[in-house]
Structures are given as C-alpha cells and as structure tokens.
Structure 1
Amino acid sequence: MVTVPARQGLEAVDILRRGACESVGPVLLDGGCDTLGFLVPPGTADAWDVPGSTCTQTVGRGPYPAPEPPVEGSDWLLPPGEADLATDPVVLRAALGEAARLIEAADNCR
C-alpha cells in the first residue's frame, strides 16, 4: 500500500480518474482524513522511492481486498469492487508527481 498526505492523494485520485488510463485501485482514507492509501501490486515496496510517500508490504487474504477497511478507524474512498484490483505503480508515481506540482503551484499563488 502506498500512503500519501490526503491532499496529494485526493489530487492524484482525480488525475487518475480523468486520465487516459482511468484506472485506479481501491483507496483507503484514514479516520483523521490525514492520509490516503493506494492499493498497489505485491512487490511495489521493493522499488518505491517517491518522496513524501511510503510504501509498505501488506499481507493479503487472497486475490481480492476485503470489503471491510483493513485498518480500524479508516474507510474506503474507492472501495474494492468499484475499482480495479490495484493501481499501477508507474501510473500512480506519475499522478503523485503531477499532484505535487499542482499543489505547489496553488500554494505559490496565495
């Protein structure tokens, strides 16, 4: 799972959903609305190096994510069944980069 600050994650979800790929896997929103977690394929954490984010290995219970959020106090922003099984890490990396640039540009216009 790739975890990012909520603001960047929400921007990335928008970018992914309106992009040519239109493919985003389940996304988890923490209870405090501080972070978003993108479900990514197994092995992604081995090569993940995007600043401002973390990628952790999770232990799955089969090929599909559970319908209930895996972390207490969290909820699905994009639940399993309404999204692809996982977000492509290459596509996610690009979307997070674009989101960071949009946020920086918006913050500099204040």
Structure 2
Amino acid sequence: MQCVISAWTASRTKGHEQEKSLEAARESLEVLNKLIEGKKFFGGEIIGFLDLVVGTLPNWLKFLEQSEGIKLFDTKELPFLHEWAQRFTEIPIIKGSMPTAEDLINYNRDRQKAE
C-alpha cells in the first residue's frame, strides 16, 4: 500500500516532495523484489494472499509511467518482481479480470474529458 500511495503522490507533486515520494515507492518495491526472490509466487509455488494484493501494482505502475512519465517498475532494478508480474498477469483468470495499463489510461482520459 505504501508503494501505491507514494507513487500516486509522486505523480501529483513536483520537486523535493516528488523525490521523497519516489524514493519511498522504490524502497517498497525493493522489499517486494526481495520477498519474491527465488519463488514462483509470494506464497511459494501457489498463489497466495500477497499475490492478489500486489497483483494490480504492475499495471498501475505502467499507467503512471505512460500517463505521468514516472518510471518505477524497472526490469533491471527489480528483476524478480518483474518476472513475477509477467507470470502472474498471464494467468488466464487474472488476465481476464484485471484492467490493463491501457484500460487505466483510457479510463483516466475519459474521466478527464468528462470534467
């Protein structure tokens, strides 16, 4: 949750406040990257609660990158988390249920037009 709050704050601020928020988001992502290292899912070989909680994070981070220019989900810095995200988001029921980054961008664009 800290990562989402920090990333969203970074997308809405500038300067020092944005840098603080980006650093907090990176720290949270690094914790997740270490937790998933050597595992297929956070629970081991099967999907667990943490997988479901963290599952939407990759698409939200892609959304922030594409819409706000904030890059936090770097493959080189977070290799284990990136591998997990690829694996998790390709599970058919997850893939069919979760909004993609493009869905989020379109929703945001439509919402802004309506305002």
TM bucket normalised to smaller: under 0.3
The structure with the largest helix share of the pair is: 2
TM-score (norm 2): 0.27
Structure with max Cα Rg:
2
